[in-house]
A and B are shown apart, each in its own frame.
Chain A
Amino acid sequence: MTVSGLLSVGLLAQIVQAILVLALAPALTGLVRLLKARLQGRRGASLVQPYRDLACLLRKDVVIAENASWLFQAIPYIVFTMIWFAAVLVPTFTTVLLLGPTADLIALVAFLGSVRFFMALAGMDTGTSFGGLGASREVMIGSLAEPAVLMVIFTVALVAHSTSLIDVAEYLTGTDVGIRVSLLMALLAMVMVAIAENARIPVDNPTTHLELTMVHEAMILEYSGRHLALIEAAAMVKLLLYISLILCMFVPFGIGTRADGFAGIGLGLVVYLGKLMGGAVILAVFESSIAKMRVFRVGEFLGGALLLGVLAMIYLYISWAV
């Protein structure tokens, strides 16, 4: 492909991806819910239900606490935009993306960290005890998860010699990397972090009605109407983002690269959808087979992720030394 051809394909792919992540995210959440319901012996709601929920919330009036500041109203928009933008950057079905060069892993972590910062602010803004409780737990989880993420990124970056997601994906698909112990450990660490970051069992329970056990839900208890819709949508996109990120960093096989042409990119889309469904199945089975841990066990859980990340790096150096 020529440079201008590449640019126009990149632009097209970028637009498709931006729409795709937004359109697919509720279906992914719906799929996980449906699978979990089936595993519990329930019929479950259809895949369309999350779309209906969002549409319903968008139509509803917003109720705002009297003592809420402007931040409280601005944050849903900020959070949704940032998460969406982050999801747009992560290569899903192709690496030929206009914004590809900006898809830097460290920038992505900074992005997600800022989202957490804003969410915690929103939780504390109304001054309710649940908001503060949720915010404090969220920040605790975040402070434990981020070091682990950085270790994973360093490991992957050392293997691929770049922190750019495109380079990582192309390196892994292009060369015969083989099975590396350190990459496997980094994958495990990343999955553990993703579980914590997306408020899934065993760290948080996305379906609970118990205010006192909530983390993510406690922060957003005061939100309603379109604000809540935006935050819910952001959470759905975030789940998709993390699964895509893991796919891109560790199992990018099948992703459409520059060398594959249009057909390859089209195939990449099909492969991506398949992988996403696989991710949903694994998540649903895992969540159904384990109970939630005590809040303070989260430290051990994410400490384990950090340890795996560090070990992954050490093994990498050892394997080079040998």
Chain B
Amino acid sequence: MTFPETLASWLRHDMGLIPVERHRPWSRFEVSEAQWWRLMEAMEVSRWSLLGLWAEPERVYLALRDDTDEDIAVVSLLCSEGRFPAVSVVRPAAQRLERAIHDLFGLEAVGLTDSRPWLDHGVWKGSRPLAAVPGPAVRRSYAFLPVEGEGLHQIPVGPVHAGIIEPGHFRFHANGEAVVRLEERLGYVHKGIEGLMQGRSVFDAARLAARISGDSTVAYGFAFARAVEAALGFEAPPRAVWLRALMAEMERLANHLGDIGSICNDAAFPVLLTRCHALREQVARTAVACFGHRLMMDRIVPGGVAVDLTPDGAERIRRLGTEIKGAFAIVMEIYDNRNSLLDRMVGTGVIGSHLVHRFGAGGFVGRAAMRDFDARRTPSYPPYDDLDFIVPVLEGGDVNARVGVRREEIKESLKLMAVILDRLPEGPVLEPVPGTGGEGMALVEGFRGEILVWVRLAADGTILRCHARDPSWFQWPLLEAAIEGNIVADFPLCNKSFNCSYSGHDL
């Protein structure tokens, strides 16, 4: 088989497919099982990265992005017999998504090597809750992957941790201090978001979307609103578009500040923790003064933004930018000059560039290991298509590189905030959205990476199906790789440098 051409031309010309109607902004192609197989063969030799894999009771959807021409396409398959050929055979990052699809919809991925449940821990009242016909509850024991060898022992960690963090279980196989294998088990904060979304108005559903992962509430609100607006063929008013970006940058700034402090604290250097968290607090206080909520939750709604910037808001945010710029420079000077701290950061938790590309990991995890991808630049969306900014890409792949990407992004976000304020257009911030049907998809860069939201609206404007794919889906598996060859005691540092979302992943 020859190297296939671009994704779009391959789907349209080689396969002779015609996109289905009303799927915006990217095309969706309905394929047969034989065509799905051919697609997989093509994926094996192509640079089409996985963006998402989700399901409906009788259909699976696969979103792909062509890394060569940055085109995006969705492919769907009707699973009349409750089965579909596994994508994980060619894209290992799909493995957990397929396990989750099986738990929620009962659709079986043929060829999936790991048949253990993922989100369903055997404590639900039933099984496959989102399938057309839900099943009875199934109790199963969960077998962790075996490790054999002399002197090996297990260390179970979590899901309840000593600190105030989200729940997740980590099973270490270690030989003394050296980690032989780390296996994650997630799903403890499954809330059934996808099920809850069904049948709700877009405004109710937007409130749910904003609560998928609290630290990324702006990004989720942004992505959901954009997906709904895409489905309806609606453009938000210009001022709202720019205000959304302003909030998104403030959220990115706050989270990166918090992360850098927390990473330093995990190396037992709390001086930077308190400094960084004080700065993060300043952002939150500015947010409440400007938008009425510390995390700016529920400020972005389909149709625009719920509140306009307060009259003195622009001035406050400018002042915040100046203050943080100076204070953050001092923080990073301390960081750079502390050998004992750098000794912990440099060379710890390295992930190779090939793995990052293989799993399609976005955000700072990908960019710290040479994966130059930022949804704000490609495929881009307003107002970022009209803004100049640098996407930092480093090659270390270690904890220090992940801190490095964050620190550059903080500087860029500060610049972007100032530019957005300068160019903020006048006008209304909210317009009523039409109540019609359609399918829409959006890709928005949150602080962790790109968030994908896909919606299907009924003719009356309510949600038929909504799927949100957190960037953490493609980052969690890499954490298992990052800890390889490290020692048990360095795991918290690696974990914090990833700072994956539990809530966004468990849905």
Chain B binds chain A: yes
Spell out A's residues near B (CB within 8 Å).
36, 39-42, 129-130, 132-133, 136, 201-202, 205, 207-213, 288, 290-297
Residue with the highest number of chain B CB atoms closer than 10 Å, among A40, A208, A292, A293? A292
* Interface locus among B134-142, B265-273, B306-314, B415-423: B265-273
| Per-residue A-contact encoding for B258-287, CB less than 8 Å = 1, 0 else | 000000101111110111001000000000
Q: Which of B275, B343, B492 contacts A212 (CB 8 A)?
A: B492
Q: Do B278 and A205 touch (CB < 8 A)?
A: no
Residue B38 at the chain A interface, CB threshold 8 Å: no
B334–chain A nearest beta-carbon distance, Å:
10
Residue from B270, B271, B489 within 8 A of A294 (CB atoms): B489
Interface residues of B in 83-139 (CB under 8 A from A): none
Interchain CB contact under 8 A, B155 and A41: no
**Cβ–Cβ < 8 Å partners of B155 in chain A:** 129-130, 133, 212
- Whether the Cβ atoms of B491 and A212 lie closer than 8 Å is yes
Contact of B162 with A209 in the complex, beta carbons under 8 Å: yes
Q: Please, could you name 5 A-B residue pairs with CB atoms under 8 Å apart, sorted by A?
A: A39-B271, A41-B274, A129-B156, A212-B491, A293-B340
CB distance from A216 to the nearest CB of B (A): 13
State the Cβ distance, A295 to closest chain B Cβ, in Å.
5
Q: Which of B486-505 contact A (CB under 8 A)?
A: 487-492
Residues on the B chain within 8 Å of A290, using CB: 269, 338, 340
Distance between Cα atoms of A136 and B491 in the complex (Å): 18
CB <8 Å contact, B157 and A292: no
Q: How far is the CA of A297 from the CA of B267 in the complex (A)?
A: 13
Q: How far is the CA of A210 from the CA of B270 in the complex (A)?
A: 14
- Candidates A133, A202, A205, A295; contact of B340 at CB < 8 Å: A202
Question: B270's closest neighbor in chain A, by CB?
Answer: A40
A219 smallest CB distance to B (angstroms): 14
By beta carbon, the residue of chain A nearest B161 is: A211
Given contacts A41-B274, A205-B268, A208-B268, contact A293 B492 (CB under 8 A): no
Q: What residues of B have a CB within 8 angstroms of the CB of A296 in the complex?
A: 177, 487
Contacting residues of chain B (181-225) with chain A, CB-CB under 8 angstroms: none
* Chain A hits for B59, CB < 8 A: none
Q: Which residues of A contact B164 (CB under 8 A)?
A: 209
Q: Which residue of B lies closest to A210 (CB)?
A: B492
A41 to B278, CA, bound (A): 9
> Once bound together, how far apart are the Cα atoms of A202 and B273, in whole Å?
17
- Are A212 and B489 CB-contacts (below 8 A) given A292-B268, A292-B344? yes
Q: Which residues of B contact A212 (CB under 8 A)?
A: 155, 157, 488-489, 491-492
Max chain B Cβ within 10 angstroms of own Cβ: one of A202, A210, A292, A296? A210
For B338, list chain A residues within 8 Å (CB).
290-291
- CB contact between B163 and one of A133, A210, A288, A297 (< 8 Å): that residue: A210
Rank and list the top 9 A-B pairs by shortest CB-CB distance, nearest first: A292-B268, A209-B163, A291-B341, A291-B269, A205-B268, A210-B492, A129-B155, A291-B340, A40-B274
Query: In the complex, what distance in Å separates the CA atom of A317 from the CA atom of B365?
Result: 57
**In the complex, what residue of chain A is closest to B176 when comparing beta carbons?**
A136
By a CB distance below 8 angstroms, the chain A residues around B269 are 290-292
**Which of A129, A205, A295 sits near B153, CB closer than 8 Å?**
A129
Starting from the known contacts A41-B275, A205-B268, A295-B489, 14 additional A-B residue pairs (CB-CB under 8 Å) come to A39-B271, A40-B270, A41-B278, A129-B153, A129-B156, A202-B268, A202-B340, A210-B492, A212-B491, A213-B266, A290-B338, A291-B343, A293-B340, A297-B343
How many whole Å from A78's CB to the nearest CB in chain B? 26
In the complex, B436 has a CB within 8 A of chain A: no
With a cutoff of 8 Å between Cβ atoms, the chain B residues found around residue A40 in the complex are 270-271, 273-274
CB distance from B297 to the nearest CB of A (A): 27
Interface SS, A side = loop
- Whether B161 and A294, one on each chain, are in contact in the complex, defined by CB atoms closer than 8 angstroms, is no
Q: B269: nearest residue on chain A (CB-CB)? A: A291
Of the listed residues B264, B268, B274, B344, the one surrounded by the most CB atoms of chain A closer than 10 A to its CB is B268
Q: Which residues of A contact B154 (CB under 8 A)?
A: 129
Measured in the bound complex, the distance between the Cα atoms of B155 and A132 in whole Å is 10
Interface residues on B, range: 20 to 34
Q: Cβ of A294: which chain B residues have Cβ within 8 Å of it?
A: 343-344, 487, 489-490
Q: Which of B155, B264, B275, B491 has the most CB of A within 10 A?
A: B155
A295 touches which of B163, B275, B487 (Cβ 8 Å): B487
User: Once the chains bind, are A207 and B270 in contact (CB under 8 Å)?
Assistant: yes
| A42–B489 CB distance below 8 A | no
Q: Tell me if B268 and A291 are in contact (CB < 8 A).
A: yes
Q: Are B267 and A210 in contact (CB under 8 A)?
A: no
Known A291-B338, A293-B344: A210·B487 in contact at CB below 8 Å: no
A186 to chain B, nearest CB (A): 24
Is the pair A213, B492 in contact by a Cβ cutoff of 8 Å?
yes
Whose C-beta in chain A lies nearest to the C-beta of B490? A294
Query: Which of A130, A136, A211 has the most chain B CB atoms inside 10 A of its CB?
Result: A211
- Give complex CA distance A201, B340 in Å: 11
Within 8 Å CB of A201, what residues of B? Answer: 268
Q: For the complex, what is the distance from the CA of A42 to the CA of B264, rounded to whole Å?
A: 17
Q: Evaluate contact between B176 and A293: CB separation under 8 angstroms.
A: no
Q: How far is the CB of A203 from chain B (nearest CB, A)?
A: 10
Q: Which chain A residues border B274 with CB–CB below 8 Å?
A: 40-42
* Set of chain B residues within 8 Å of A210, measured between Cβ atoms: 162-163, 266, 492
Q: Which residue of B lies closest to A211 (CB)?
A: B162
Per the bound structure, the CA–CA distance linking A291 and B343 in Å amounts to 9
B162-A288 in contact (CB<8A):
no
Q: Which of B361-406 contact A (CB under 8 A)?
A: none
- Expressed in whole angstroms, the Cα–Cα distance for A284 and B263 within the complex equals 21
B56: min CB distance to chain A, Å? 41
B278 touches A133 (CB 8 A): no
The digit string for B145-189, where 1 denotes a CB below 8 A from any CB of A, is 000000001111100011110000000000011000000000000
Decide: A133 near B488, CB < 8 A? Known: A42-B274, A212-B157, A292-B268: yes
User: Which of B271, B341, B343, B488 meets A288, CB within 8 Å?
Assistant: B271
Give complex CA distance A229, B491 in Å.
30
Q: Which residue of A lies closest to B275 (CB)?
A: A41
Please give, as numbers and ranges, the residues of chain B lying within 8 Å of A42 by CB-CB distance: 274
Q: Give Cα A39 to B334, complex, Å.
A: 14
Which residues in B have their C-beta under 8 angstroms from that of A207? 270
B158 to chain A, nearest CB (A): 9
Which residues of chain A come closer than 8 Å to B267, judged between CB atoms? 291-292
Task: Write out the residue numbers on chain B whose beta carbons fall within 8 Å of the beta carbon of A291.
Answer: 264, 267-269, 338, 340-341, 343-344
Q: Which of A39, A130, A213 has the most CB of B within 10 A?
A: A213
* Whole-angstrom distance between the Cβ of B276 and the nearest chain A Cβ: 11
B93 CB to closest chain A CB (Å) equals: 26
**In the complex, how many angstroms separate the beta carbon of A230 from the nearest chain B beta carbon?**
21
Complex CA–CA separation, A129 to B491 (angstroms): 16
Residues 333-354 of B, flagged 1 when their CB comes within 8 A of A and 0 if not, give 0000010110110000000000
* Known A-B contacts A133-B155, A293-B344; A213 and B275 likewise in contact (beta carbons under 8 Å): no
* CB-defined contacts of A293 to chain B, threshold 8 Å: 340, 343-344
Q: How far is the CA of A36 from the CA of B273 in the complex (A)?
A: 13
* Cβ–Cβ < 8 Å partners of A209 in chain B: 161-164
Bound complex: CA of A40 vs CA of B276, how far in Å?
Answer: 11
**Contact between B344 and A211 (Cβ–Cβ < 8 Å)?**
no
Query: Please, which residues of chain A bring their CB within 8 A of the CB of B270?
Result: 36, 40, 207, 288
